[in-house]
Amino acid sequence: MRNIIAQLFALGPELALFILSSPILFARTVGALTQQQVPSPNLDLSQLGRVALAGDFDSISLYEYVGQGQDSFSTNGSQSLLTRYPNGAFQTLGTTDAYIETMCPFMQNGKLQGVVMGGNFTRLGGVEAQGIALYDPNTTSITALPGLSRRVSALYCDDASGTVYVGGSFSAGNSTNAMAWVTGWSNLPFEGFNGPVSSIVKNAAGNIVFGGSFEGLGNATTPKDPDVQVINLSSGNIASSGTSTRTGFSDPEQIICKTGAQDGAGNTWLLQDDTQGYWQGAYSFGFNPTKIRLYNTQQDGRGTKTFYFEDMNSGGILNLDYSDADGKSRSCSARCPLAQNSTSQDFHFVPPVGMNTFRIQIVDWYGPGGGLAGIELFQDDIYSFAVNDFNEPKCDGVSSGSSSTITPANGTWTRTANNGDTSSDYLTAVINDTTTDTGVSVTFSPNLAQSGNYSIMVYTPGCLQDSSCATRGRVNLTGTMTSNAPPVSTVVYQTNDYDKFDQIYYGYVNTDSGSFRPSVTLTPVAGQTNVTVVAQRVRFEL
């Protein structure tokens, strides 16, 4: 067996320091762990003469405890939570699918509640845990702390207040990159930081001090306009009920990204006379709409008078805010009014709700029957998808569209269905002995309305849902953020069991330099064979 300490430091000083410090953290409770000593076998080798052991090792130890073994170290980015047997050998308490970056003993009322662990993992010891979990050394159980998703890089367990302060690259509640845990998540008195937190300490005055790559509290750049991204409604399965059979007015898809000025045959969807009905869209990607814009039809005196918006994922009718003809703010749900004119009318979702299927149910109408001349759906979140069909369309002059480009264009990348296990369909490429990784890439090109300090996150679907855990590997993410600065690059492991997202950049992104458009390119790390690479989506957040 190779020297274990040398192996640890070969894998990196952070990993070595984490493992070597684990006996200190568990010293006061290690007695609660079951470590059963193995009875001596009392082997009599005296009749065999000199006995030699041969193999690939440079040290040897006795097997003294049940479960004691020499675990091989993973090179796929995963780590283990360890303690020590009395003889100094290591005992594995739980294995992750990524890095454990920080941990601290959590005390409340003088009693140890457990050890809090943070990192970029999605699983710890067989328990789904997004970046943070609690290990109880008394019961050896692992408990996820749901509500936070992404990377935890810093923890401080404050014994005096019984509070765990958490820092990293994440969003939770009304805060970014910093939160607190007592018996549940609670926002700090400020809205977090505009960049990642990498260190948390308590000074002599009793103040909690945060350190990291941030310039201020909350977002350093405020979006000039809300509802900036148009959701691609044409990429879904469009259905309707109660639809007219009139030629030129029976296709529900023809009103997507159309306006009242285009009202007429080939551009308008009508219901049958004196009939309620609905327009429905079902999609292979999720979205969080903040606004819907509707154009009423005036065809032959027809039009929609009242409607409601139904989230088909939850089956709930959503609350909408709008302005009436006098400019006064109003709210509606089961009967939302639509004016009988050709101008657009906007309705805001209060609060926004995530979904992938929705229905507009027409309840009442003007004239002989209802109908619509145009529909557009907007959200605050800015995404670029690997599946280009999901990207923002060029719509009604309000959007110039976003895009993705795959290389090679055919034969390598295939579309993988989400099957309800992740937020959207994604692309998969298998790099094997006959497929070179040279030139295999996906480039994400968003439509950004303004320059500013952006947090850029890449989303990676978990490997359990497509049974690719044994072949997942590493990818390079290279971003071009301004027209006059060199690209930035980082490596991300894709070995996560469950969905995760990594912040790959925080800083200035320029959109004001003529034809320049920022982009992020995903490529497999060179030299990997028999590896599965996935590409899903990238988020750009002010």
Mean per-residue pLDDT of the chain:
86
What is d(CA 451, CA 542) in angstroms, rounded to the nearest whole number?
9
Q: What is the percent of the chain where pLDDT is above 90? A: 56
Per-residue pLDDT, averaged over 472-498, amounts to 94
What is d(CA 402, CA 395) in angstroms, rounded to the nearest whole number?
11
- For residue 69, how many other CB atoms are within 10 A of its CB? 11
Return the CATH architecture of domain 399-541: Sandwich (2.60)
Tens digit of pLDDT for each residue in 370-427?
999 999 999 998 999 999 999 999 887 777 889 999 999 998 999 999 999 999 999 9
Per-residue pLDDT, averaged over 313-341, amounts to 94
Q: Is residue 219 scored above 90 in pLDDT?
A: no
Please give the structure tokens belonging to residue 226. Answer: 């809300």
Confidence (pTM): 0.74
Largest CA distance in the chain: 108
Per-residue pLDDT, averaged over 205-218, amounts to 82
CATH classification number, 229-379, choose in 2.60.120.260, 3.30.300.30, 3.30.390.30, 1.10.510.10 = 2.60.120.260
Q: Where are the domains of the chain?
A: 1-95, 96-220, 229-379, 399-541
pLDDT for 498 equals 92
Per-residue pLDDT, averaged over 524-536, amounts to 94
**In 388-515, where does DSSP find H-type helix?**
none
Closest residue by Cα to residue 449 from 227, 185, 178: 227
pLDDT for 18 equals 40
Query: Coil, helix or strand for 254?
Result: helix
Beta-carbon contacts of 121 under 8 Å, excluding residues fewer than 6 positions away, are: 78, 96, 97, 98, 99, 100, 129, 131, 496
| Highest mean predicted confidence (pLDDT) among 177-191, 317-331, 392-406 | 317-331
Range with lowest mean pLDDT among 169-173, 289-293, 295-299: 169-173
What is d(CA 336, CA 293) in angstroms, rounded to the nearest whole number?
13
Tens digit of pLDDT for each residue in 221-256?
556 678 889 999 999 999 999 999 999 999 999 999
Sheet holding 531-535, edge to edge: 414-416, 426-431, 531-535
Query: Predicted confidence band at 218 (pLDDT cuts at 50, 70, 90)?
Result: low
Beta-carbon contacts of 450 under 8 Å, excluding residues fewer than 6 positions away, are: 221, 223, 224, 511, 542
pLDDT for 25 equals 38
Beta-carbon contacts of 413 under 8 Å, excluding residues fewer than 6 positions away, are: 406, 427, 428, 429, 442, 535
Q: What DSSP element (H or E) covers 280?
A: strand 277-287
Closest residue by Cα to residue 125 from 95, 146, 145: 95
CB 506 within 8 A of CB 195: yes
pLDDT for 220 equals 47
Per-residue pLDDT, averaged over 300-321, amounts to 96
Beta-carbon contacts of 232 under 8 Å, excluding residues fewer than 6 positions away, are: 389, 390, 391, 392, 393
**In 89-245, where does DSSP find H-type helix?**
none
What distances in angstroms separate CA 79 from CA 101, 151, 465, one per listed residue? 10, 15, 21
Q: What DSSP element (H or E) covers 9?
A: helix 4-10
Tens digit of pLDDT for each residue in 18-62?
433 333 333 333 345 667 777 777 777 777 778 788 888 777 777
Q: Is residue 523 scored above 60 in pLDDT?
A: yes
pLDDT for 173 equals 78
**In terms of pLDDT, which residue wins out, 313 or 187?**
313
CB 480 within 8 A of CB 469: no
Tens digit of pLDDT for each residue in 85-115?
777 777 777 788 888 999 999 999 889 999 9
Helix then strand then coil, in percent of the chain rounded to 5, is 10, 45, 50
What is d(CA 198, CA 249) in angstroms, rounded to the nearest whole number?
58
What is d(CA 393, CA 191) in angstroms, rounded to the nearest whole number?
33
What is d(CA 388, CA 534) in angstroms, rounded to the nearest whole number?
15
The answer to whether domain 229-379 and domain 399-541 are alike in fold is yes
pLDDT for 84 equals 75
Beta-carbon contacts of 46 under 8 Å, excluding residues fewer than 6 positions away, are: none
The distance of Cα 478 from the centroid of its chain, to the nearest Å, equals 19
b (16+ CB within 10 A) / e for 485-507: eeeeeeebbbbbbbbbbbbbbbb
Q: Is residue 320 scored above 70 in pLDDT?
A: yes
Per-residue pLDDT, averaged over 164-170, amounts to 92
Please, what is the Cα angle at 384 between 379 and 388, to 5 degrees?
110
